[in-house]
Amino acid sequence: MKIVVLGADGYLGWPLSLRLLRRGHRVVGVDNLATRRAVEEVGSDSALPISSPQERERAAKELGDFKFVFGDVTDYQFVKELISSEKPDAVVHFAEQRSAPYSMKDVEHAVYTMHNNLEGTLNLIYAVKEAKPDVHVVKMGTMGEYGTPNFDIPESAFVEVEIKGRRDRIPTPKFAGSWYHWTKVYDTYNMLFANKIWGLTFTDIMQGPVYGTRTEEIVSERFFTRFDFDEVWGTVVNRYCVEAVLGLPLTPYGKGGQTRGFLSLEDSVEALRILIENPPEMGSYRHVNQFVELRSVREIASFVQDAGKELGLDVKVQHVPNPRVEAEEHYYNPELKVLPNLGFRPRKSMREEVKVMLKDLLPFKERISRFSSVIMPRTRWK
């Protein structure tokens, strides 16, 4: 297949591009390098050194047919020209502002996030409709679209409800927890609408937080993917591993009962590979929940503590006041059936993988320690 990966310079986009190349697909990687700039803006950097896009292009070409295109998905003419000239079978859309704290900083960051994410997805929808309506759009959404409801989360875009005695099928209720997470809800509605009126083909993925340093293709420094750990861009498991390496206490926010559906980088890339190679029926909208382990942030701290002990690190845990507005103890039971039905079997467990992560990060302790001032949470929801 020929696959366009929007956001190919990112944490997920780069390793997915490598996986697709190794499977024999042709890959066009697109990025405007926004994340590199935004991480610098908050005074941080990737914990693992990453190559320039030019060096990445050279390295990826060793695995297969790859080219890197610099471009911004909020530019409609660029996206339309890309789809018209490349004529891909599938487009994977990762190219969004993906940090909840970044979106909550102030009005400028909230508006940037809304504009970047909604406009990019809408441009892609129109470009596909105009230039190649049979493209399979694989869009990365988030489990955070649902929030943490007190009902079992269905793996479905619609639910049957009865309101005042009358029944109907309505979009699954969602209640996101940051401006960033809300952009994914709105993207979902826009794709449902585009599917309804034009019959475009979508896979909309509700993915939980991803952790890890490795995939099968990341075998040396040249293939490293970015690894963020600061209070704005770092996600919880990755942050804990850096904190452990630096000898800082792990930082569960508040009571620490916040539970999410986590998965390793390797499992994320493999799940995506399966969804791309097994598209839904042409003209349909497929809704997928993508996670492996339901864990609370308190429980994860104990995993990292245990892994640290095995490596001779003295890891402490210190609950810190929660900078976010979110439930700290809650029910959480999402459904998971599409990926297992397609043959997806997790390859990694968090308990094991955090050991690998600590080993990968330890040689970069000095590099990371330059950024220890941006680890404690400062960005508050209110």
Contact residues for ligand USQ (CB under 6 A)? 98-100, 142-144, 181, 208-209, 235-236, 239, 251-253, 258, 260, 297, 324, 326
140 binds, among ligand NAD, ligand USQ, none (CB under 5 to 8 A by kind): ligand NAD
Say whether 180 is catalytic.
yes
235 binds ligand NAD (CB under 6 A): yes
Per the DSSP assignment, residues forming a β-bridge with 290 are 207
Q: Please report whether residue 116 would count as binding ligand NAD according to CB under 6 A.
A: yes
CA atoms of 68 and 249, how far apart (whole Å):
40
Q: Please state the closest distance from residue 280 (CB atom) to ligand USQ, in A.
A: 22
What are the CA-CA distances from residue 223 to residues 5, 235, 249 (Å)? 17, 21, 30
Residue 270 binding: pick among ligand NAD, ligand USQ, none (C-beta 5-8 Å cut-off by kind): none
Using CB under 6 A, which residues numbered 133 to 162 contact ligand NAD? 140, 142
Helix (H, G, I), strand (E, B) or coil at 201: strand
Q: Which residue, 66 or 94, is less far from ligand USQ as judged by CB? A: 94
- Nearer to ligand USQ by Cβ, of 25 and 295: the residue is 295
Q: Has 184 been annotated as catalytic?
A: yes
In angstroms, rounded to a whole number, what is the distance separating the alpha carbons of residues 154 and 160? 11
**In whole angstroms, what is the distance from residue 323 CA to residue 137 CA?**
35
Q: Which residues contact 57 (CB under 8 A, 6 or more apart)?
A: 29, 66, 67, 68
249 token code pair:
């206490």
Minimum distance of ligand USQ from residue 253's CB (angstroms): 4
Instruction: Print the SS3 string covering 125-164.
Output: HHHHHHHCCCCEEEEECCHHHCCCCCCCECCCCEEEEEEC
Residue 33 contact partner, candidates ligand USQ, ligand NAD, none, CB within 5 to 8 A by sort of partner: ligand NAD
Q: Which does 29 bind (CB under 5 to 8 A by kind): ligand USQ, ligand NAD, none?
A: none
Annotated active-site residue 164? The verdict is no
Shortest separation between residue 194's beta carbon and ligand NAD, angstroms? 18
Are 295 and 177 a contacting pair, CB within 8 Å?
no
Instruction: Please state the separation of Cα 312 from the chain's center in Å.
Output: 31
Closest CB to ligand USQ among 16 and 297? Answer: 297
CB of 99 to ligand USQ, least distance (A): 5
- By CB under 6 A, residue 256 contacts ligand NAD: no
Q: Which of 102, 180, 211, 285 is catalytic?
A: 180
**Who's near 21: CB < 8 A, 6+ residues apart?**
27, 60, 63, 64, 65, 66
| Contact residues for ligand NAD, defined by CB under 6 A | 7, 9-13, 31-35, 72-74, 94-98, 116, 120, 140, 142, 207, 209-210, 226, 235
Known catalytic residues are 142, 180, 184
